[in-house]
A and B are shown apart, each in its own frame.
Chain A
């Protein structure tokens, strides 16, 4: 009996992990997303959904030049057939840290923190009131077994909305960074209650114009144009990019359970 149950669990697990077709990430440098399901061992009709998502900037060729862009946010929408994710089992609804591995050093090295302000004679110049951008990014060092990982992380605010059959998670940049950058690995999204078979999950990551932010442009216009012209040109290109390449979704994952 126990063995049968384990065998069934294993079978379900394998079945559910198969996404049909494979995940579509249309701009994988900018957004890579995967969704996986893991049936609970006690109640196999309940599947824990785990999200892995990576944000970064991406270069895009545009006529005679190129532009670099990233996301300030977006919506992960789930369309469920024969299943629901109850409100009570929704997770991932808070501030999240997206990690970026900057450097991995295989041996310990001493690092000295240097102050940013130096005292010269009897006066220290103040950073004053020129308008600092605020917290740009956080950084940290993690040491384990002879290697040192230096990483940065940006903070992303996630909120949830939508009905139990069509839940959605809204991502938005929270720190001073202009765009989302970093990896969220294997984060539990919620628990799917299967009501009947076949049960399908269609996950799409969708964006609108306000989520696109151009961070750099090369070969498209002179460097000395006015800020007004620059702002309008960037917006025009962002809109063109959205219409031509980023709609109706940026990434899509389908899961199927029988």
Chain B
């Protein structure tokens, strides 16, 4: 990089890319004089938008593709050996003959992991004969989480909500978009401490109720530092 001419060329190329109206990855690579099928092995492609790109046969060995959007990208015959794909979106991506050896991968939320859903209800009383009738596919992510960007999980410690089916060590799914209403089970911060309780709104009073007689209701008044973080939508309770 000591050569003056190549330094000037490099500066011109940087300016061209910065000034480019497009953000299309392949077009930017072309401006930079890069070959997208050869020059991105081992590259830092974190968070890139590669939606719909034609990366057939591309050498992406060891590339860092964490958080990249690869939805509907054509990766047929591409080599992703050793690539990092945590949180990458591969929805609809074409992966025929793609080398996927030794990748590190944690599916992004939007990916579907559907399992068979049987139509016959499970009898909680007397057992009924099993029927091999599949109603459709069930994706737990889609079923349990309506607002992915505003959803978080918490683990419960304590027994104040056992009456509502919430036990210690259970995991709660909390949606911050839903409006807390009378009767909602909420995650609240009271004077800097987190708690899960049922919200009671009546006669201009705000109460947080436990579902266990051993715990007294908490009344919120003007001196209470109080904030609701979200509404509990589901409980994950392990049976084993």
Contact = CB atoms under 8 A, between A and B. Distances in A.
Contact of A123 (B1, B18, B45, B187): B187
A124 B187 CA distance: 11
A178 B64 contact: yes
A209 interface: yes
Contact of A120 (B41, B61, B82, B193): B193
B166 to A, nearest CB: 10
A64 B41 CA distance: 27
B32 A236 contact: yes
A3 interface: no
A121 B156 CA distance: 10
A228 B153 CA distance: 31
A128 to B, nearest CB: 5
A55 B221 CA distance: 60
Interface stretch (B2-10, B90-98, B198-206): B2-10
Contacts of A121: 193-195
A63 B10 contact: yes
A37 B133 CA distance: 73
A126 interface: yes
B6 A226 contact: no
Given A214-B44, A244-B6, A134 B155 contact: no
Contacts of B86: 131, 133-134
Interface stretch (B46-54, B70-78, B117-125): B46-54
B14 A233 contact: yes
Contact of B194 (A120, A225, A241): A120
B142 interface: no
Interface string B134-176: 0000000000000000001111111010000000000100000
A209 B41 CA distance: 8
Interface in A215-232: 220-222, 225-229, 231-232
B225 interface: no
B37 interface: no
Nearest to B38: A209
Contact of B18 (A124, A225, A239): A225
B44 A123 contact: no
Q: Give the most central of A133, A226, A232, A241: most B CB within 10 Å.
A: A232
A235 interface: yes
Nearest to A127: B153
Contact of B39 (A122, A133, A209): A209
A209 to B, nearest CB: 6
Q: Give the most central of B11, B33, B67, B194: most A CB within 10 Å.
A: B194
A240 B32 CA distance: 11
Interface string A91-127: 0000000000000000000000000000111111110
A131 B87 contact: yes
Contacts of A236: 10, 13-14, 17, 32-34
Contacts of A238: 43
A229 B13 CA distance: 12
Contacts of A120: 193-194
A244 B2 contact: yes
A122 B196 contact: yes
Contact of A232 (B11, B29, B46, B160): B29
B168 to A, nearest CB: 8
A62 interface: yes
A123 B39 contact: no
B28 interface: yes
A125 B154 contact: yes
Nearest to A63: B11
B20 interface: yes
Given A221-B14, A232-B25, A126 B171 contact: yes
A254 interface: no
B195 A122 contact: yes
B226 interface: no
13 contacts: A62-B10, A63-B14, A122-B156, A122-B157, A210-B42, A221-B18, A227-B45, A228-B49, A229-B20, A231-B40, A232-B31, A235-B39, A239-B34
Q: Which 3 A-B pairs have the closest CB atoms?
A: A210-B42, A122-B158, A210-B41
Interface of A: 60-64, 72-73, 119-126, 128-131, 133-134, 172, 178, 209-214, 220-222, 225-229, 231-241, 244-245
